[in-house]
């Protein structure tokens, strides 16, 4: 493994790509500490200290802590992700976007252009909402207002600062994709999540020294570390899991040349939707707690939040059951949107491909649809278990809540997926120049 990393820096092009990626990620982390004008940072920190189990907490995870600090990167790359998902959903219902998705490179460029426009619109709308939200906040301890001088001047300045920061992050991501290594947007989310790990481990170490949080001493800490390694291995297994459908291409004679005749396979991923089902389910499940934090004087909102928020068992058991069911539902829902068996069967027939024993056309699409439906069930159950597991780790072992994000859930799935994709790209560069890859047997597979 170390020899492979050394080989990566012997290749001039690969070395420059890696260093370029690292430099832009450092720029992103620096920007995440530049505050929006007109904010009382201490009052804001006091307020957000009680929002870990709300929608703000999960949003802050994706932007590397920039949201709770109200920096110019407070929205992170999330408006771009939201715009991409919206266009992907529109592509399944609006013929114009369906046509663009099938036009190859030109269609992809047009969709990227619409995604950028959508990012700016969403960033402006969300930043205006953030400015209004910040004006309503007060410190939970001192009662001081978070915004020093509320009004339209603050709102316009916040909109300009945060929207500009979002567009700059989008540009950084595109530059990393084009001139760096890995997918730039994914790398930005990845570094935002990983940046929280040292602080979480330091808090866990302090809790261990004071013996205030850990129940089982040094053995408990060793068990926690072993559990982190085991869960990471399970997530890698889920991310890499595939069902391969054999495909045979018939021979075609064009002039004096013979084309086709080879045997290949269609890799169907066990976890086709990736981390999207957990994000959708968390957004819905955190709405009661988020509403209660925004309306602290409304008794009905407090009642709903008290009975529909994560908490000690067995009182929170209905919450986790509904959460798991939502993840399973969104797994099927998003798989149906991003994976179209009819288009796949038509493309196979167009190029002379067929599945042995299955007739081309509708029989092939039905066969593929049946297989993807079957493998999505264990994948979605697996996904639900990984999403719920961090809570039970905190409940049973009294692990620091910040560290529990790396025992499963959205954070670990993103970290593992992006790491696999990046290592797969580095390995491709190494293999192309006749160097050994990261694995002695086989090849490393990314999520694609």
CB atoms within 10 A of CB 234: 17
pLDDT in tens, 181-202: 888 888 888 888 888 777 777 7
pLDDT, position 292: 63
pLDDT, position 109: 86
Residue 345 lies in a domain: no
Residues in the chain: 448
pLDDT, position 59: 64
CB 11 within 8 A of CB 428: no
CB atoms within 10 A of CB 436: 12
Distance from CA of residue 140 to its chain's centroid? 31
Residue 170 lies in a domain: yes
Whether 91 has a pLDDT exceeding 60, the answer reads yes
* 416-432: average pLDDT: 80
Whether 410 has a pLDDT exceeding 80, the answer reads no
Residue 117 lies in a domain: yes
pLDDT-wise least confident of 83-97, 165-179, 243-257, 397-411: 397-411
Distance from CA of residue 21 to its chain's centroid? 19
Residue 308 CB-density burial (10 A; 0-12 exposed, 13-18 middle, 19+ buried):
middle
* 308-323: average pLDDT: 72
Where in the sequence is the domain holding 116, given as residue range(s)? Answer: 1-195
- Backbone Cα Rg of the chain: 24
pLDDT, position 209: 65
pLDDT band per the 50, 70, 90 thresholds, residue 76: confident
Q: How far is CA 128 from CA 43, 117, 119, 296, 299, in A?
A: 20, 17, 14, 22, 28
pLDDT band per the 50, 70, 90 thresholds, residue 167: very high
DSSP 158-202: HHHHHHHHHHHHHHHHHHHHHHSSS-HHHHHHHHHHHTTHHHHHH
pLDDT in tens, 274-306: 878 887 787 777 666 666 666 666 666 666 666
Whether 442 has a pLDDT exceeding 60, the answer reads no
Q: Which residue has the higher pLDDT, 231 or 7?
A: 231
Residue 322 lies in a domain: no
pLDDT, position 253: 65
Residue 412 lies in a domain: no
* 107-114: average pLDDT: 87
DSSP state of 405: G
Whether 168 has a pLDDT exceeding 90, the answer reads yes
Q: Domain containing 23 — which CATH number?
A: 1.10.3370.10
Domains: count for the chain: 1
Whether 42 has a pLDDT exceeding 80, the answer reads no
CB 431 within 8 A of CB 437: yes
Residue 54 lies in a domain: yes
Residue 439 lies in a domain: no
pLDDT in tens, 378-407: 888 888 888 887 777 766 666 766 676 676
Question: In 3-state terms, what secondary structure has residue 267?
Answer: strand
pLDDT-wise least confident of 118-132, 298-312, 415-429: 298-312
What is the rounded CA–CA span in Å between residue 272 and residue 238? 10
CB 203 within 8 A of CB 402: yes
pTM of the prediction? 0.75
In the numeric block, which tokens belong to residue 356?
Answer: 């042995």
Residue 131 lies in a domain: yes
What is the rounded CA–CA span in Å between residue 448 and residue 335? 15
Residue 210 CB-density burial (10 A; 0-12 exposed, 13-18 middle, 19+ buried):
exposed
What is the rounded CA–CA span in Å between residue 137 and residue 366? 54
Whether 118 has a pLDDT exceeding 80, the answer reads yes
Question: In 3-state terms, what secondary structure has residue 264?
Answer: strand
Residue whose entry in the numeric block shows the structure tokens 């700016």: 120
* 155-182: average pLDDT: 90
pLDDT in tens, 14-34: 888 888 999 999 998 888 888
Question: In 3-state terms, what secondary structure has residue 443?
Answer: coil
């Amino acid at each position: 493994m170390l020899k492979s990393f050394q080989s990566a820096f012997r290749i001039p092009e690969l070395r420059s790509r890696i260093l370029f990626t690292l430099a832009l990620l450092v720029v992103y982390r620096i920007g995440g500490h530049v505050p929006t004008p007109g904010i009382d940072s201490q009052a804001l920190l006091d307020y957000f200290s009680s929002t870990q189990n709300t929608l703000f907490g999960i949003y802050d995870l994706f932007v590397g802590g920039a949201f709770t600090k109200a920096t110019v990167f407070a929205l992170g790359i999330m408006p771009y992700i939201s715009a991409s998902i919206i266009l992907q959903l529109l592509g399944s219902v609006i013929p114009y976007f369906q046509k663009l998705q099938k036009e190859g490179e030109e269609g992809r460029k047009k969709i990227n252009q619409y995604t950028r426009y959508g990012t700016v619109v969403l960033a402006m709308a969300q930043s205006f909402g953030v400015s209004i939200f910040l004006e309503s906040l007060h410190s939970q301890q001192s009662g001081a207002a978070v915004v020093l001088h509320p009004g339209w001047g603050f709102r316009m300045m916040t909109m300009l600062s945060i929207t500009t920061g979002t567009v700059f992050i989008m540009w950084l991501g595109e530059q990393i994709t084009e001139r760096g290594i890995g997918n730039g947007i994914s790398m930005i989310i990845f570094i935002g999540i990983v940046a929280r790990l040292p602080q979480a481990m330091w808090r866990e170490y302090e809790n261990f020294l004071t013996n205030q949080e850990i129940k089982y001493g040094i053995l408990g800490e060793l068990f926690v570390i072993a559990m982190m390694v085991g869960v990471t291995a399970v997530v890698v297994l889920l991310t890499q899991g595939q069902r391969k459908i054999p495909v045979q291409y018939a021979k075609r004679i064009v002039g004096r040349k013979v084309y086709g005749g080879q045997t290949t396979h269609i890799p169907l991923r066990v976890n086709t939707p990736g981390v999207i089902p957990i994000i959708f389910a968390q957004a819905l499940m955190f709405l009661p707690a988020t509403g209660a934090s925004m309306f602290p004087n409304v008794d009905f909102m407090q009642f709903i939040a008290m009975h529909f928020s994560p908490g000690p068992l067995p009182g929170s058991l209905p919450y986790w059951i509904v959460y798991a069911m939502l993840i399973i539902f969104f797994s099927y829902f998003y798989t149906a949107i991003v994976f179209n068996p009819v288009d796949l069967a038509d493309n196979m027939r167009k190029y002379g491909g067929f599945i042995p024993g299955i007739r081309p056309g509708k029989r092939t699409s039905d066969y593929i649809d049946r297989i993807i439906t079957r493998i999505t069930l264990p994948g979605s159950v697996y996904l639900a278990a990984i999403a719920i597991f961090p809570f039970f780790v905190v409940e049973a072992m009294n692990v620091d809540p910040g560290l529990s994000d790396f025992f499963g859930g959205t954070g670990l799935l993103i970290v593992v997926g992006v790491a696999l994709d990046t290592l797969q790209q580095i390995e491709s560069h190494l293999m192309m120049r006749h160097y050994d890859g990261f694995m002695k047997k086989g090849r490393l597979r990314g999520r694609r």
